[in-house]
Amino acid sequence: MLDLLWRTQFRWKLRPHQVTGDTTYGTLDIIQAVEDAQIRAYMPLAEPGERNPLLGMHQFTYDAEQDSYTCPQGQRLAYHYTRHVMNVRVYRADADICNRCPLKRDCTTSSHGRTIHRNLRDHYSERVRAYHHTQAYEKAMGKRKVWIEPLFGEAKQWHGLRRFRLRRLWKVNCEALITASGQNMKRLLQKRGWGRRPIPTGMAGHIPFFCAGDECRHSPLEGHGEQNGEVCS
């Protein structure tokens, strides 16, 4: 996505104020690059799965001023250390408080207290998540449903793109580009008309025509017959 965005800006001299994408593009790398370029990233964020039966991170409240989390029972999880290998900050609750908590069985299996890992770039996610409550975000996602999603459905149902016929990435890219070119051609013809266009007048004099073995100087646009005192058959 980023390569497409930078190329579009360079080629068409565009300076977009926002970009819209689906959840697949809502990664921290893309969001950080877009936001650092002073462009708003209107993208839904993938929420963590529910495979773990314990209380999820979204049930804890983060306080930016105190740099700490608050659990559902109102207890504080203070900053513990930074794990640079995983690019996260670790927050931990007091072990004695956690062990006496009535929700401990639903919160953590550790006897050292509940821990939470916060990505060092989580402020980008929070900024994008704040966009979700704005009218501009709702408008952008509504346009995407009307402009983009139907193109995917058209490619799958009418152009056989439900499954790629070729293997290897560059071949798949070629197949997708050919399909997209066909979709663009249909829209171009719909705009300009599907009928046969006349040959430009400048080319009419350069197209010779031969009939009955004799050279005919008339162009196909003029037709044949008796013209200017000459007869061709």
Q: What is the pLDDT of residues 153-188, one digit of tens each?
A: 999 999 988 999 889 999 999 999 999 999 999 989
> In whole numbers, what is the pLDDT of the chain averaged over residues?
83
Query: Domain segments of the chain: what residues?
Result: 2-44+132-147, 57-120, 149-191
Number of H-type helices and E-type strands within the chain = 9, 11
Between CA 55 and CA 108 the distance in angstroms is 8
Q: What token pair was written down for 52?
A: 């773990």
Better-predicted residue by pLDDT, 52 or 172: 172
Predicted confidence (pLDDT) per residue in 129-145, tens digit: 999 999 999 999 999 99
Mean pLDDT, residues 106-114? 90
Q: pLDDT tens digits, residue range 180-212?
A: 999 999 989 888 876 665 545 444 444 444 454
Residue 229 pLDDT = 45
User: Exposed, middle or buried, 69 (CB in 10 Å: 0-12/13-18/19+)?
Assistant: buried
Cβ-based neighbours of 218, under 8 Å, separated by 6 or more: 209, 224, 227, 232
**Distances in Å between the alpha carbon of 148 and those of 21, 71, 124, 137, 181?**
10, 41, 25, 16, 15
Q: What pLDDT does residue 213 have?
A: 47
Among candidate residues 38, 47, 46, 2, the one with its CA nearest the CA of residue 17: 38
For the ranges 69-78, 97-106, 171-180, 200-209, the lowest mean pLDDT is seen at 200-209
With H, G, I as helix, E, B as strand and everything else as coil, classify residue 223.
coil
CA gap 4, 232 in Å, rounded: 59
Looking up tokens 């959840």 gives 23
| Predicted local distance difference test score (pLDDT) of residue 217 | 52
